[in-house]
Amino acid sequence: MRRLAGKRAVVTGGGSGIGRASAIRFAREGASVLVVGRAGNTEETAAGIRSEGETASALIVDAAIEENVAEIVRRCVSEFGGLEIFFANIGVTGTNTPLLEQTVDEWSEVYRINTISCFLAVKYAGRHMTAQGYGSIILTSSAASLRANAGAISYSASKAAVNNLAQTAANAFAGTGVRVNAVLPGLVETQLTRKVFEDARARGVEAKLGHVTPMKRPGRSEEIAAAAAFLASDDSSYVDGQLLSVDGGVSSTHPYGRIAL
Amino acid sequence: MNSRFRDRVCVVTGAARGIGLAIAERFGREGGRIACVDVSARRLEPAVEGLKSKGFEARAYGVDVGKRDDVHALFAQIESDFAAPVAVLVNNAVWARFEPLAQIEIETVERMFAVGVHGLIWTTQAAAPQMERRGGGSIVNLSSVSAFHPAKDSIAYSALKAGVVGLSRASAIELSAKKIRVNVIAPGMIGTPASIAQFDEATIATRQAEMPAGRFGEPEEIAALAAFLASDDASYIQGTVVTADGGWTIPAR
């Protein structure tokens, strides 16, 4: 499928996990992709895409710092000639420190990386896209933004703010041709969740991962990437300000067997 | 075009026109084998002829989806005709009236729920065993923004469309074990002839101005979303409602 032929896309957090899978998917659908990340694996993602004969380059910066996000947009436009898709995907998990002992420092850093990064994406990608009258901005949220006990508390709250930003930004961009949506993954093995998976394997209970979802399994990064590609493409042209759950059903059900009445 | 539905038998109810026909056509463009269902086989004829003329495999089936035995017979017939079990089911058929409370008649409510809720239970009941036999499937049910943000005169309709959400999510729990996904589309204002005909020009202009998209949606835009949810691209999406309303229900106004 080449739904993104001729499009120029930024994917942040592109060195691994959902970001890497999305960068690859966008490129396979025809987009030129600027892969952004903080670590050297960002270049690996871009090199892998190029080895498939598609177009990508890497930019190693922190995408939660204002001047960096301005530079990301400039770089995509100067290198590829434009920007139609921005996938704001960087994130940190926060800690499971007991709530009563959590600190403002932790919350500030979690909000900076998870929430402020999305504001900056909306601001700088939004400036470019509203001026050209077309664009799709996708924000990574989480099932934890909707339900408790699906992530750290600071993480969950920061992602709920992302949901609201997707809606309020979509409304702020009314009439401009720019859409803003959020994708809400459930449990997926990525750099963020590796410890959960490694602990489960060490204890021999890997098969139980994802057991609270109706689908009884965790998701794969490629499954989130497919949803992001839908939101990036014109197949979602009338989908705006939406929170797209890709979580095996965990956020929309209470799958604990039949309730005895 | 790509071929996400190659060799897959896709059933679309309410396929004679509007959103249902657009969904059938999208499945056809992506390689699907289409079973078009409507209450009147005669009304389906132009739709199915049009699909065939584009080179798609399409068959017409007239059935009242509110009648359980007829629906089970229909799905047996579809499997026989296509020589393959059903892979995709889109429940799009609806019959509705919009009236103030005092005017709602028993017959209206019975007919609305027979088509729009009972019908979904019967088609799901009939399709699930076929999907299980082929190793899985995907069901997409059409709700409406009215399920969450009802407008005037939609007491029965909003109940109907909220019912679609509940039965879909509950079906998702039971059918996950059979590798069947069940998801919901909640369209906003879609510019089908039937929906446009309800309003005068001033009302249409007011509605459009309320929407971030600034326009009504096209049936093809709902079809693109239905194709996404029905395809393997949505393999981890289960029990979800996706609203496609151009942002209409986002602002408080």
Over residues B50-106, the pLDDT tens digits come to 999 999 999 999 999 999 999 999 999 999 999 999 999 999 999 999 999 999 999
Helix H or strand E encompassing B68: helix B68-82
Q: Is the pLDDT of residue B177 over 90?
A: yes
| Domain membership flag for residue B4 | no
Percentage with pLDDT > 90 across chain A: 85
Cα pseudo-dihedral A169, A245, A152, A221, rounded to 10: -110
- Residues A27-62 pLDDT 10s: 999 999 999 999 989 999 999 999 999 999 999 999
Q: What confidence score (pLDDT) does residue A1 get?
A: 77
**Does any domain span residue A207?**
no
Structural domain contains residue A104: yes
What is the torsion angle, in degrees rounded to the nearest 10, for the CA atoms of residue B6, residue B12, residue B16 and residue B21? Answer: -50
B212 close contact with A: CB closer than 8 A: yes
Nearest to B228 among A235, A247, A249 (CB): A235
Query: Which residues from B are below 8 Å from A242, CB to CB?
Result: 242-244
| Cβ distance of B212 and A247 shorter than 8 Å | no
Residue pairs spanning A and B at CB distance below 8 A: 125
Greatest Cα pair distance, chain A, in angstroms, is 64
At residue A259, does pLDDT exceed 70?
no
> What is the least distance, in Å, from the CA of A94 to any CA of chain B?
25
Asked if residue A195 has pLDDT above 60, the reply is yes
Please answer whether residues A59 and A34 qualify as being in contact, where contact means their C-beta atoms are separated by less than 8 angstroms: yes
Domain that holds residue B148: 9-244
Give how far A146 is from chain B: nearest CA, Å: 13
Q: Across the strands, what pairs with B13?
A: B37
Flag if A174 and B212 touch (Cβ within 8 Å).
yes
In a domain, A194, yes or no: no
Q: Which DSSP string corresponds to B79-97?
A: HHHHTS-EEEEEE------
Q: Identify the weakest region by mean pLDDT among A197-201, A236-240, B4-8, B178-182.
A: A197-201
CA–CA min distance B210, chain A (Å): 9
What would the pLDDT profile of A217-258 be if each residue is shown by its tens digit?
999 999 999 999 999 999 999 999 999 999 999 999 876 655
Predicted confidence at residue A106, as pLDDT, reads 96
Residue B86 lies in a domain: yes
The pLDDT of residue B253 is above 90: no
What does the pLDDT average to over B149-175? 96
Using a CB-CB cut-off of 8 Å, the residues of chain B touching A244 are 237, 240, 242
B222 in a structural domain: yes
CATH of the domain at A71: 3.40.50.720
Q: Which amino acid is at B54?
A: K
Closest to A214 (Cβ–Cβ): which among B172, B225, B242?
B172
Of residues A113, A116, A134, the one with CA closest to residue A125:
A134
Q: Which of B176, B218, B242 sits opposite A239 (nearest CB)?
A: B242
Say what the pLDDT of residue A255 is.
62
pLDDT at residue number A193: 87
User: Of the listed B157, B171, B185, B225, which one is catalytic?
Assistant: B157
Q: What is the pLDDT of residue A206?
A: 82
B157 is catalytic: yes
Its domain, for residue A172, covers: 8-188+220-244
Q: What is the pLDDT of residue A253?
A: 86
* Interatomic CA distance for residues B191 and A49, integer angstroms: 40
Lowest mean pLDDT among A70-74, A176-180, A257-261, B3-7: A257-261
With CA atoms as reference, report the closest residue to B184 among A227, A171, A249, A53. A249
Q: How far is A126 from chain B (nearest CA, A)?
A: 15
Q: For residue A208, what pLDDT is reported?
A: 82
Residues A98-105, mean pLDDT to the nearest whole number: 96
Q: Percent of chain A scored above 70 by pLDDT?
A: 97
What is the layout of strands, in order, in the sheet containing B241-244? Answer: B57-62, B33-38, B9-13, B86-91, B137-142, B180-187, B241-244
User: pLDDT at position B197, please?
Assistant: 85
State mean pLDDT over B226-246: 98
**Overall average pLDDT of the A125-132 stretch:** 98
Q: What ipTM describes this predicted complex?
A: 0.94
The answer to the question of residue B2 being in a domain is no
Find the closest chain B residue to A210 by CA distance.
Answer: B236
Structure tokens given for A8: 């120029």
How many domains would you assign to chain A? Answer: 1
Q: Does the CB of B230 have a partner CB in chain A at under 8 Å? A: no
Instruction: Return d(Cα B189, Cα B195) in angstroms, integer.
Output: 8
Q: Would you say residue A30 lies in a domain?
A: yes
* Residue A212 to residue A196: CA distance in whole angstroms: 15
pTM of the model: 0.95
pLDDT at A194 over 90: no
> Which of A176, A179, A182 minimizes the C-alpha distance to A161?
A182
The DSSP code sequence of A36-103 is EESSTHHHHHHHHHHHTT--EEEEES-TTSHHHHHHHHHHHHHHHS---EEEE----------GGG--
Confidence class for position B140, pLDDT limits 50, 70, 90: very high
Measured CA to CA, the distance from residue A143 to residue B41 in angstroms comes to 43
Q: Considering the domain boundaries, does residue A195 fall inside one?
A: no
The mean pLDDT value of chain B amounts to 96
Across the interface, do A249 and B213 touch by the CB < 8 Å criterion?
no
Mapped onto helix, strand or coil, the DSSP state of residue B222 is helix
| The pLDDT value given to residue B46 | 97
Which CATH number characterizes residue B68's domain? Answer: 3.40.50.720
Which residues 6+ apart lie within 8 Å of B237 measured at CB?
A: A227, A244, A245, A246, A247, B181, B183, B229
| A238–B246 C-beta distance less than 8 A | yes
Q: What is the pLDDT of residue A257?
A: 54
Check: CB of residue A21 under 8 Å from CB of residue A43. no
Say if residue B125 is exposed, middle or buried (CB neighbours under 10 Å; 0-12, 13-18, 19+). middle
Could you say which of A219, A238, A245 has the minimum Cβ distance to residue B221?
A: A238
Give residue A256's pLDDT. Answer: 63
Residues of B in contact with A1 (CB under 8 A): 2, 4
Number of separate domains in chain B: 1
A122/A171 Cα distance (integer angstroms): 12
Q: Between chains, do B244 and A239 touch, taking CB under 8 Å as contact?
A: yes
What per-residue confidence (pLDDT) applies to B2?
Answer: 66
**Residue A215 located in a structural domain:** no
Structure confidence by residue, pLDDT tens digits, B4-63:
999 999 999 999 999 999 999 999 999 999 999 999 999 999 999 999 999 999 999 999
> A129, A239, A246, A256: best mutation site toward chain B, by most B Cβ within 10 Å?
A239
Pairwise CA distance, residues B183 & B167, whole Å: 10
Q: What confidence category does residue A72 fall into, taking pLDDT thresholds of 50, 70 and 90?
A: very high
Nearest of B131, B140, B184 to residue B162 by alpha carbon: B184
B237–A contact, CB cutoff 8 A: yes
Yes or no, beta carbons of A215 and B176 under 8 Å apart = yes
Comparing CB atoms, the residue among B176, B240, B247 nearest residue A174 is B247
The string of DSSP codes covering A220-251 is -HHHHHHHHHHHHSGGGTT--S-EEEESTTTT
Angle (CA) B163-B169-B170 rounded to 5° is 90
- Residue A34 within a domain: yes
Burial A96-119 (b: 16+ CB within 10 A, else e): eeeeeebeeebbebbbebbbbbbb
For B227, nearest residue in chain A (alpha carbons):
A235
Q: Specify the pLDDT at position A205.
A: 85
Q: Which of B169, B191, B188, B187 is nearest to B237 (CA)?
A: B169
Phi-psi region of A249 (alpha: psi -120 to 50; beta: other; left: phi over 0): left
Report the residue of B237, B245, B249 to disrupt the A interface, i.e. the one with the largest count of A CBs within 10 Å.
B237
Query: Is residue A11 within 8 Å of A59, Cβ to Cβ?
Result: no
B31 interfaces chain A, CB cutoff of 8 Å: no
* A153-172 and A117-132 helices, crossing angle to 10°: 20
In a domain, A131, yes or no: yes
- For residue B221 the two structure tokens come to 């835009």
Question: Out of A1, A216, A224, whose CB is closest to B176?
Answer: A216
